[in-house]
Amino acid sequence: MAFKQLARKPLNWAERTYLPQIIMGLKITFWNMLKKKVTLEYPDVRPVIPNGYRGIPTLVKDPKGREKCVSCQLCEFVCPPKAIRIQPGEIPEDSENAHVEKAPKEFDIDMLRCIYCGFCQEVCPEEAIFLQKVFSLSGYSREEMVFPKAKLYELGGTYPDQHYKWEKKRSAAEENQANGHG
């Protein structure tokens, strides 16, 4: 490939004093002064968090108030820094959701270990754990930063549910029973 070399124009007399350039620079900075400020005054003004942001992971309930987690421990297993600790527990017989069989007895997420990767949300078969938009956490001790189940539900709240999987299962089972296949 042939290169074409362009001679750089020699500076003229005015340019060699640098003064025109300095005046140009001053003009630019002057108009900058009058422009809109880009500062976001953080604690007073919060940034708009985009959808899909990975903040703190929390447990969620479905709109009927059922806790969705079945303590399958997949998330505990997949979590790269081992931030999740689960103790599975039984759902008592007399509960409305007894057919779900299991729910976590203890569910701790250590927010100091969590790297906000979102694997837990991805892996959960029950859509029971979601990463929220909360990005700033603080506490006075390490223990305080291990969030127990109650706190995780409090932060997570309820999420819409498209399937109501366990209700369908229950009605299917009841139907089967009625048809004499049970």
Partner 1 sequence: MNYLPILIALLKAVIMISVVMGIAAYAVLAERKIAGWIQGRYGPNRTVLPFIGVIPILGNMLTRLGIFQPVADGLKFIFKEDPVPGHVNKFYYFLAPCVAFIPAMTTMVVLPFGEMDGVPLVLANIDIGMLFILAVSSLGVYGIILAGWSANSKYPFLGGIRASAQMISYELAMGLSILPAFLWANAPGSETGLSLFNVVQSQDQLWMVFWQPLSALIFLVALFAETNRLPFDMPEAETELVSGYHTEYGSMKFGLFFVGEYTHIVIGSGVLVVLYFGGWNFLPGIPFPWPAGWAGGLLSTLWFLLKVFSVVFFFMWIRWTLPRFRYDQVMRLGWAILLPLALANLVLNAILIALFENWLV
> Given the rule CB under 6 A, which residues bind ligand SF4?
57, 69-75, 78-81, 83-84, 86, 109, 114-120, 123-124, 126, 128-129
Q: Look at residue 88 and give the partner it binds from partner 1, ligand SF4, none, a contact being a CB closer than 5 to 8 Å depending on partner kind.
A: none
Rg (CA), the chain: 29
Q: How far is the CB of 39 from ligand SF4 (least distance, A)?
A: 31
Cα–Cα distance, 81 to 117 (Å, whole number): 10
Please report whether residue 28 would count as binding partner 1 according to CB under 8 A.
yes
Contacts of 128 (CB under 8 A, 6+ apart): 59, 60, 67, 68, 69, 70
Q: Look at residue 60 and give the partner it binds from ligand SF4, partner 1, none, a contact being a CB closer than 5 to 8 Å depending on partner kind.
A: none
Sign of CA dihedral 20, 25, 28, 32: negative
Residues that bind partner 1 (CB under 8 A): 22, 25-26, 28-30, 32-39, 41
